[in-house]
Amino acid sequence: MNIVVQKYGGSSVSDAERMKNVAKKIQSKVLKGFKVLAVVSAMGDTTNRLIKLANEIVQRPEPRELDMLLTTGEQISASLLAMVLNEMGINARSVNAFQLKIITTSDFTEAQIKNVNREYIYQSLEKYDVLVVTGFQGITEEGDLTTLGRGGSDTSAVALAAYLKAPCEIYSNFPGIYTVDPKLYPQAKKLKYVTHDEMLEMAALGAKVLHPRSVEIAKKYNVTIYCASSFSDEEGSYVVSAYENYLEEPTVTGLSADDNQIQVTILNLPTDFLLVNKVFEVAAENNLNIDMISMINDHDKVNVSFSIVESGLENVDKVFNGFLKNVDGTKINYKNGLVKISIVGVGMRKARGVASRFFKAMENIPITLVTTSEIKISCLVPTEYKNRAVNILAKEFNL
């Protein structure tokens, strides 16, 4: 049995015409001899509208009940798409997380998949050519409905592909994966291949084609992901484990720009390792998403800087002012209006002089923080320098 998992995002099924277009794509796969698991998101902005509705009715929606509400969006998409397929003569059936036994943790609104009932899938595919699956959702051991958080339909699709050892195709309004967001740099090249490691970095750094959680699963279970457009037959991009089977590693594969960054600096901390370590413990305990980190010794004091996204500023201020109120002489400074510019490439592991080229190209742009890994260089720059930095680095690294 040749099985393929396909995922169609909300924009792909946002109205009747687009849903019929998706059905034709699925039909073409069936005619080639494949059994298809078509994972669908809610239509258009349905999820956002449901969240807005919940917030209009109550101040703080209870997470379990919010998940109960949000899972209705994908059920509408799945049932409608199954109707279209059956009318076209394709033997299809819509199924939800309860029927597939997509077992998750009980972390409502951010659940993680623990298991999937493969036997039910195989048995169903003996009867049907297409199973239209509700993405973004699962159930707990106790039978409560859960959702998988942002990008959850990507996660659903890749997890199903991993359990079934099947290829995974992600269809959206993007025709593939680009070296740079074409909206920022219209001359950006479309990548034919990108590795899981590179895609993980690019997704975490702001690339919007795939969610990081889905790429983590793909890497762990060696799932090849094909990303293409729902609206054309243009060849897309492949996310693979390594370049060795395809071509040489490019030095730099992609560039991203992540907006709304703030640099937080805690000044005059005592040079006490336990206290400095406690800064990050407190951040973790309060679910603060700290990113780029720098520590500078100044005589008998330490200045700790890190970046956060702007939406987390209120929590950071509350948490650290409370934590530091009994530490004499400390002060917290905030620098906003920043953007994180990053280059990514597995070829950086072997290539020499990449950092030199990066900083030489950026020599006339003020940089406030820098962080690196063996396949990434990131820096914070003022937002007004964003377009200039993107253009300079895209040209420097032939992106």
Find out whether 7 is annotated in a ligand binding site: yes
Domain count, the chain: 2
Q: Look at residue 249 in the predicted model and tell me its pLDDT.
A: 66
Expressed as residue numbers, the domain containing 112 is 3-172
As given in the structure block, the two tokens for residue 186 are 């219209």
Find out whether 209 is annotated in a ligand binding site: yes
Find out whether 74 is annotated in a ligand binding site: yes
For residue 155, the domain's CATH number is 3.40.1160.10
Q: Look at residue 1 in the predicted model and tell me its pLDDT.
A: 82
Structural contact between residues 347 and 249, judged by C-beta atoms closer than 8 angstroms: yes
Query: Residues near 77 by Cβ (< 8 Å), separated by ≥ 6?
Result: 13, 19, 40, 41, 42, 43, 134
262 shares a domain with 128: no
Final residue of a structural domain among 132, 157, 172: 172
Query: Residues near 136 by Cβ (< 8 Å), separated by ≥ 6?
Result: 41, 42, 47, 70, 71, 73, 74, 147, 148, 152, 153, 155, 156
Look up the pTM and report it.
Answer: 0.82
Structural contact between residues 191 and 202, judged by C-beta atoms closer than 8 angstroms: no
Give Cα separations from 308 to 163, 262, 318 (angstroms). Answer: 35, 5, 14
Find out whether 235 is annotated in a ligand binding site: no
Find out whether 47 is annotated in a ligand binding site: yes
Find out whether 208 is annotated in a ligand binding site: yes
Structural contact between residues 265 and 329, judged by C-beta atoms closer than 8 angstroms: no
For residue 357, the domain's CATH number is 3.30.2130.10
pLDDT tens for the chain, residues 1 to 399: 899 999 998 888 888 899 999 999 999 999 999 999 999 998 888 888 988 998 989 888 888 999 899 989 899 999 999 999 999 999 999 999 889 889 999 888 888 898 888 889 999 999 999 999 998 999 999 989 998 887 788 899 999 999 999 999 999 888 888 888 888 888 988 888 888 888 888 877 666 678 888 889 999 999 999 999 888 888 999 998 887 655 566 788 889 888 888 888 888 777 777 777 777 787 777 777 778 888 888 777 888 888 887 766 677 777 777 777 776 777 788 888 899 998 888 888 877 888 889 888 988 899 888 888 888 888 899 999 999 999 999 999 888
In a domain, 181, yes or no: no
Cα separation, 217 vs 239, whole angstroms: 12
Cα separation, 383 vs 399, whole angstroms: 21
Task: Check the CA dihedral 280-282-285-286 and report its sign.
Answer: negative
Q: Look at residue 248 in the predicted model and tell me its pLDDT.
A: 60
Q: H-helix or E-strand containing 267?
A: strand 254-270
Final residue of a structural domain among 153, 172, 191: 172
Q: Which residue has the tokens 């050892």?
A: 165
φ, ψ (nearest 5 deg) of residue 321 = -65, -40
264 shares a domain with 165: no
Q: Look at residue 140 in the predicted model and tell me its pLDDT.
A: 92
